[in-house]
């Protein structure tokens, strides 16, 4: 499954404002809830915070991939956010996270959820891709970088 199959241009946040973990999650969740009717903002935030209790989704290299499964949705939702300042996301390498891909999947979608997570992880291993995302400042530019990279692999 490709990222472009589940990430819409409207779900790209070019400049996250929060400077702490919960704030970033709240900001991204609020963005999703404002664009998709029927998404329970509080429930979605709880799902993500519960997942973070199991271990940080900050994977290192300035990247975090918060994710979870939620009742009441029928397709995978992916959103992207970028923090120029960086956020302490308790990443594995102890460094701040700047690049965020948030994944929400239906409760019964184990295989597709893992495929999207693996695809995003694979793309973000490339430092050139991360650098391009960090250098872009506009939503359309960020989305184009993601689309172009996703089509390559």
Using CB atoms within 10 Å of the CB of residue 25, give its burial: 0 to 12 exposed, 13 to 18 middle, 19+ buried: buried
DSSP letter for 39, please.
Answer: -
Whether 67 is a known active-site residue: answer yes
User: What is the 8-class DSSP label of residue 14?
Assistant: S
Task: Report d(CA 91, CA 77) in Å as an integer.
Answer: 23
Q: What is the dihedral angle through the alpha carbons of 56, 60, 30, 37, rounded to the nearest 10 degrees?
A: -90
Nearest to 16 by CA among 81, 79, 86, 64: 81
Q: Which of 67, 75, 98, 113 is catalytic?
A: 67
Residues identified as active-site: 67
């Amino acid at each position: 499954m490709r990222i472009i199959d589940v990430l819409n241009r409207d779900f790209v946040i070019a400049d996250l404002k929060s400077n702490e973990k919960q704030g970033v999650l709240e900001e991204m969740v609020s963005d999703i809830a404002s664009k998709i009717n029927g998404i329970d903002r509080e429930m979605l935030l709880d799902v993500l915070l519960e997942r973070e209790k199991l271990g940080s989704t900050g994977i290192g290299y300035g990247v975090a991939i918060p994710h979870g499964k939620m009742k009441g949705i029928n397709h995978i939702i992916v959103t992207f956010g970028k923090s120029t300042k960086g956020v302490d996301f308790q990443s594995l390498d102890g460094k701040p996270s700047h690049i965020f891909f948030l994944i929400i999947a239906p409760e019964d979608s184990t295989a597709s959820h893992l495929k999207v997570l693996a695809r995003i992880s694979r793309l973000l291993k490339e430092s050139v891709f991360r650098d391009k995302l960090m250098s872009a400042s506009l939503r359309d530019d960020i989305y184009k970088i993601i689309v172009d990279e996703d089509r390559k692999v």
